[in-house]
Chain A
Amino acid sequence: MNASRTDRWVGIVTLGFCAAVLALTFRFDEVPVSLMQGLGAELFPRLVIVTMAVLAVMIVLGVGVSALAPPPPIPPMVWQTGAVTVAFMAAVELAGMWIACLAFLIGLGRLWGERSLLRLAASALALTGALYLLFVRVLGVTFQPGLLAGLWS
């Protein structure tokens, strides 16, 4: 029943999370006793947090857990994909959803190893066009145009 080092850390971090969330429940607004009906707003979350804490202690002690090997380091590609995603979110604010989508499809496709820009651009245009038609023209969803569009209009 020995927990692996990784599991012990998982359990300890979970216990820390439980303590923090439990502390938050003490900051809920108070309800006057005269208006109180049944359980207070804080009781159920506390029950759940205590359950989570008990399970976290079991993980720390290695009870009911098969020993977990330390996960391999996160490959650089994951960080790069994350960075492109953050850039996409910034591009949405700046240039609007559809231009950001086009740029993302080409950019991430390139990062993931596709060499033909023409094929990437063609597929990006096709997908973005199809989504635009479905969501904007058919379903009537409004997407934010972006700051640049605001400057021009």
Chain B
Amino acid sequence: MDAFLSGLALLAEPNMLFLVFAGTVLGIVVGALPGISGSTTTALLLPLTVTMSPTAAIAFLGSIYCAANFGGSITAILINTPGDPSASATAFDGYPLAARGEAGRALGMSAVASAVGGIFSVFVLIVAAPLLARMAYQFGPPEYFALAVFGLSMVAAIGGDSPVKNLLAGAFGVLLATVGLDLTTGVERFTFGVYALSDGIEFIPVLIGLFAIAELLEQAAQRGTVQEYVRLNAVKLPSLADFRKCAKSILLSSGIGTFIGVLPALGATTAALICYNETKRWSKHKEEFGKGAIEGVAGPEAANNAAVGGAMVPTLALGIPGSTTTAIILAGLIVQGVRPGPHLFTEQPTLLYVVFGSMFAANLLYLVMGLGAAKLFARIALVPAAFLWPSVFVLSVVGAYAPNQSMADVWTMLVFGVLGFALRRFGFSPAPLIMGLVLGKLVEETLKQSLLIFDHNWLMFLSRPVVVVLFLITAAGLSMPLMARVWRRLRS
């Protein structure tokens, strides 16, 4: 109770309120810019948190994470270009609605459904995270190793459409995490005599490079593509009948979205796409879908915002990111010297209450802003690329340089930007690489500790029931796509 009260007191401080407000506004504004996803937004703004306290940093990042998902829907609805991949399903019906002059109705429904989904998932986070942490408190290094391997195996399902390429990118991320001094032996690995690499590869320049710089090059490749803009007529908000029509899909999608968010690596995009299909399946007006169904906006929006709170559950309780953006938030916390996990619930409960409170507040704030200032935010989508992307580059350079005041970090960012661009061209997604980079150290440390406990007998892993269960789930998850393909071939 003391922690709860001190968390509330901390959150009520003017500077914290300002950070939550600023995070929400920045999340919506940057999230609404076409091509800048929630993860890019978080990566771009991460350097600002280096000078903050861990509590302030996580409140700021949590608010950005909540609001950026909503911001992404603005461009999806108005220019058929999702500001965030998770809003791609919103565009299916949001854009047709806007095209026939009902942009306000679509934006209003998006704000309400997003807030309901987001708040629902925050409540789940408040209940589920401590329970999961209590369970995980019994975990030793072998269980954490199995859990991290399970988290890595889930990258097969994110980004791109090739599980093998996703796993390869994830493994490359793990390999990158081995760069630097090996803490148990003191041996330098892959440093090539460069002193700056002794501490390992810095997270911030890598994140900014893979997301922002790679996207800049992607946008350069697409110059000349004409986007179709629709006029935002007077913002006519959704009617009571609209809400009645969508209530079921919002609730259903909030539940499914939260559950999908909790699964490591599966985030808002998967949740939104699954819930779009589910909303359509359970709707009485299936024929309207794809032509401007208001339920087609409500379902995916509730789901992708519900996935936000869901994704924070394993991130905070286990230290295993639930999505790409939470992997970036986790990296930000590691930079701050905070390693989330079950011990956080006993050692720093105040920090957790600040997370819960700030996410709750951010959801309420963007609901108010979404309903009141949708027309204003819609203007953001009209910023010409010739102004937007050079500004993103300058922000990236300053952001990569600032934490260590090192030009080497700027070069690292550029190298990873080019790498990210090349990876995308050949069907790889940067998200698994980030997951690998963030989880790599945990995998190696827990493997080494486990083998010390087991006196180097690898078979002893099988003596731990939780480990066996997690290994079985991992194996099933990895072999499922292949089995399904073989099954389909046999049937045909």
Q: Does A36 contact B (CB under 8 A)?
A: yes
Is the CB–CB distance between A48 and B178 below 8 Å? yes
Is the CB–CB distance between B448 and A52 below 8 Å? no
B487 to chain A, nearest CB (A): 14
Q: Does A2 contact B (CB under 8 A)?
A: no
Q: Is the interface of B mostly helix, strand, loop or mixed?
A: helix
- Chain B: which residue is nearest A10 at the CB level? B426
Task: Assess A59 versus B165: contact at CB under 8 Å? Given A108-B389, A109-B390, A112-B223.
Answer: yes
B326 to chain A, nearest CB (A): 23
Q: Does A97 contact B (CB under 8 A)?
A: yes
Partner of A131, one of B164, B188, B398, B448: B398
Interface residues of B in 455-492 (CB under 8 A from A): 456, 481-482, 485
B262-274 vs A, Cβ < 8 Å mask (1 yes, 0 no):
0000000000000
In the bound assembly, the distance between CA atoms of A10 and B427 in angstroms comes to 10
Instruction: Give chain A residues whose Cβ lies under 8 Å from the Cβ of B414.
Output: 85, 89
Is the CB–CB distance between B451 and A142 below 8 Å? no
Is the CB–CB distance between A44 and B178 below 8 Å? yes
Is the CB–CB distance between A28 and B189 below 8 Å? yes
Is the CB–CB distance between A141 and B187 below 8 Å? no
Instruction: Give chain A residues whose Cβ lies under 8 Å from the Cβ of B175.
Output: 21, 45, 48-49, 52
Q: How many residues from A make CB contacts under 8 Å with B?
A: 67
Instruction: Give chain A residues whose Cβ lies under 8 Å from the Cβ of B394.
Output: 101, 104-105, 127-128, 131
* Interface size classification for chain B: 35 or more
Task: Assess A37 versus B221: contact at CB under 8 Å? Given A66-B162, A105-B391, A114-B384.
Answer: no
Is the CB–CB distance between B385 and A104 below 8 Å? no
Q: Does A118 contact B (CB under 8 A)?
A: no
- Chain B: which residue is nearest A101 at the CB level? B394
A25-46 vs B, Cβ < 8 Å mask (1 yes, 0 no):
1001101000111111110110
Is the CB–CB distance between A36 and B185 below 8 Å? yes
Task: Assess A89 versus B387: contact at CB under 8 Å? Given A64-B481, A77-B221.
Answer: no
Instruction: Give chain A residues whose Cβ lies under 8 Å from the Cβ of B398.
Output: 97, 101, 131, 135
Partner of A85, one of B178, B393, B405: B393
Q: Does B182 contact A (CB under 8 A)?
A: yes
Beyond the given pairs A38-B452, A142-B405, 9 more chain A to chain B contacts, judged by CB atoms under 8 angstroms and listed by A's residue number, are: A38-B456, A39-B447, A44-B447, A45-B175, A56-B168, A68-B427, A92-B410, A114-B384, A141-B401
Q: Chain A: residues with CB nearer than 8 A to chain B?
A: 6-7, 10, 14, 21, 24-25, 28-29, 31, 35-42, 44-45, 48-49, 51-52, 55-56, 58-59, 63-66, 68, 71, 74-75, 77-78, 80-82, 85, 88-89, 92, 97, 101, 104-105, 108-110, 112-114, 119-120, 123, 127-128, 131, 135, 139, 141-144
